[in-house]
Structure 1
């Protein structure tokens, strides 16, 4: 009778949240309470693992040397004397230095060079060269275009030599946007620029490296990876291809710590993620005077497809299912499991009070109430 009265009185005391028993009693078809063991932690960790860029994107040489629509080309034509097609009046003499022989001619006279106005490769991939006509440029290298123009001029000009230069690169580029200093389109060169080259060309990120996730879009494939992972693993600094879109995303990930922990509040963590063991440490660990080590809970909304809460933050409530993960830290093996259990964005970490803590709180309340009354009665006698 006395014990029942004490328990009833304890339930009326102020508290920071539900007890372990109250949480466990809420297990229904709509709210699952899952005991975390090695198998559960392994499953969640594998599901939480993101695909690496080196696995998701094939390593192929970029076609940066190939001309495309929109590129601006310079075309210069040399004709050895005696000039037949390109006269001296329309061009200029070209010599290879002091007293040197001219390009394409070694008879002591200078050759004639004609530089055509710059031309943009049209939507059909063509440019126009006088006396040669329409020349297909798109999909070809500069050397191939030179050979085509030379062949077309061979029977009209005297020993023609052609030089084609790409003045403006409008076809082979990548787009860099998001949390960077300057959004830009970066031209690609035959050197082969990589992911971090594009980030450096854009002036770097505006937020700390550990808060940034890089998203790479190539054709219809879209994949993301923490910037910290790209920096630490050179294999993820993949070579870019024309048309790639690099987006720097600022992701202020956080979880909320409540209950019998050393620090209650919202706690930020890095884009690469943290484990439950790390989360408990950042929350100040369990309070030795209050915490129920058997009552460590992680409240999370899981998507119906099992992808976790991090990928469905904007999803409608109907598509997200509430799950409560329960960890018993009185079992020494739980500390090993906690190192593999991934904490996700918007998780709530709650540590219940121990039953003895509520009893102690009730006893303290009695002492602070009964002793003053007893003292007052003693003084009146």
Structure 2
């Protein structure tokens, strides 16, 4: 125990330099790199024994200026967030940067760690705590306002680009949002989803090479026969992806009807004109 007359001296914050050394008043330059807190305390005590009576030293880490993450993108304020011993997670960093400026269901979060890049919808991170990963020094967190959508064509109630939430929707939901299949036109056996898949996920079933786009993706067409009741369950499980194209083909009778309508619009006026000259 220190004598009753002993005084405690609080030193100002000290920074470990790029060489891993710490300058401590009265103790001089101390090698701190690779040391634990107790080891560093013991080293400083040893340096002070010849200068103080029964010295006692308490070392604590106020902040680690070399361990931080960078948060950029569609956030309140782009900034560098220091990592503390408690271990900040993804949502902690976004909160420190002022949160996102767009609805959470339209924001994708991208984490760049070295040469690896990971991305996920923000609302998926909020709903699943396992996705709220611990950050590491040097990570770059980017909040991207990236609304996802699919395009509906053919015999559906709406032929347009339709947005959906970041957590995704099923094919059944996509059909409902596009107005469903038109009874007077649609061929329920001809529901197609056009998608560009990663080449690695497409099995090679033929001898010839698969057509691959410049970014390494393969065009794939999925067909679902909605006349089959079992396809209703398939449609509920089939996930739609960003930039998918949903196409519902016309029933053969609809094509015949189109031809008949064209025939009537051309022939009937001609016949009516002909009767006027008789």
Give the corresponding residue for 1:161: 56
Report which structure shows greater RCO (CA 8 Å, sep ≥6).
Answer: 1
Supply the RMSD in Å over aligned alpha carbons. 2.8
Deviation of 1:122 after TM superposition, in Å, equals 1.3
Q: 2:261 maps to what in 1?
A: 364
Number of the residue aligned with 1:325: 222
For 1:267 and 1:149, locate their aligned partners in 2 and report how far apart those are by CA, in whole Å: 66
Q: CA deviation at 1:141?
A: 4.6
Counterpart Cα distance in 2 of 1:190 and 1:318: 41
- Give the distance between the partners of 2:115 and 2:196, measured in 1 at CA: 29
Q: Secondary structure at the match of 1:358?
A: helix
TM superposition shift of 1:360? 1.5
Give, in whole Å, the separation in 1 of the partners of 2:274 and 2:137: 90
Cross-structure match for 2:2: 104
- Give the TM-score of the pair, scaled to structure 1: 0.63
Relative distance call for 1:130 and 1:201 in structure 2 (3 A) is closer
Q: Distance in 2 between matches of 1:274 and 1:126?
A: 55
Q: CA deviation at 1:349?
A: 1.4
Shift of 1:112: 4.0
CA separation in 2, counterparts of 1:222 and 1:370?
63
Structure 2 residue runs without a partner (length 5+): 204-211
Residues 224/324 of structure 1: CA separation in 2 closer, same or farther (3 Å cut): same
Alignment correspondent of 1:205: 100
The whole-number CA distance in structure 2 between the counterparts of 1:347 and 1:216 is 25
Question: TM-score, normalised on structure 2?
Answer: 0.83
> How many pairs are equivalent?
270
Q: CA deviation at 1:203?
A: 0.9
SS in 2 for 1:305: helix
**Aligned equivalent of 1:66:** none
Instruction: Tell me if 1:294 matches 2:192.
Output: no
Distance (Å, rounded) in 1 between the aligned partners of 2:13 and 2:243: 56
Give yes or no for the alignment of 1:277 onto 2:175.
no
SS in 2 for 1:336: helix
CA 1:117–1:210 in 2, change beyond 3 Å: closer, same or farther? closer
Match of 1:122 among 2, 17, 25: 17
Structure 1 unpaired stretches of 5+: 1-102, 309-314
- Structure 1 318/246 Cα, relative in aligned 2: closer, same or farther at 3 Å? closer
Q: Which sits farther off after the overlay, 158-167 or 268-277?
A: 158-167
Matching of residue 263 in structure 1 with residue 158 in structure 2: yes
- The yes-or-no answer on 1:186 pairing with 2:81 is yes
